[in-house]
Structure 1
Amino acid sequence: MDTITIKLVLNSIVFSIVGILILLCTYFIIEKITPENTWKEISQNKNTALAIIVGAFIIGISMIISAAIHG
């Protein structure tokens, strides 16, 4: 059984932060590319279809980032 060390914990924290930053960057890139403000469409106009697409996008990008970090 592997022991948990400070190095392993710090690596997990660093990779988690890097993954979240990459996810946020890709979200803002998509936000700039699309003609409408997606968050405004989802929250104010209650666009359910767009909310599903954005959710699927976030899950997909998260899986790609996870696979890239895990190796």
Structure 2
Amino acid sequence: MSPVPAPRRSPSPLRQSDSPGAVRDRRAELGRADEARAEQRERDDTRNDPNASKWRYQPPQRKEKEPV
């Protein structure tokens, strides 16, 4: 049987052992990433057409009961 791999822990964005300069750099990097995601979200939102009929909710068609 092959050994079961240990689950990986995701790297923590900020560690207590990091130097203040590393913490500051990491925070700046995370801030830039947040800004880039916000810009991308805005661009994607402007491309969506709110009047597109395929996105509107349409209730399912009711089928009339057939007489028995």
Q: Which interval holds the TM-score relative to the shorter structure?
A: 0.3 to 0.5
> Which structure ranks higher in relative contact order (CA pairs < 8 Å, sequence separation ≥ 6)?
1
TM-score by length of 2: 0.48
Which one has a larger percent helix, Structure 1 or Structure 2? Answer: 1
Which of 1 and 2 has greater Rg? 2
TM-score by length of 1: 0.46
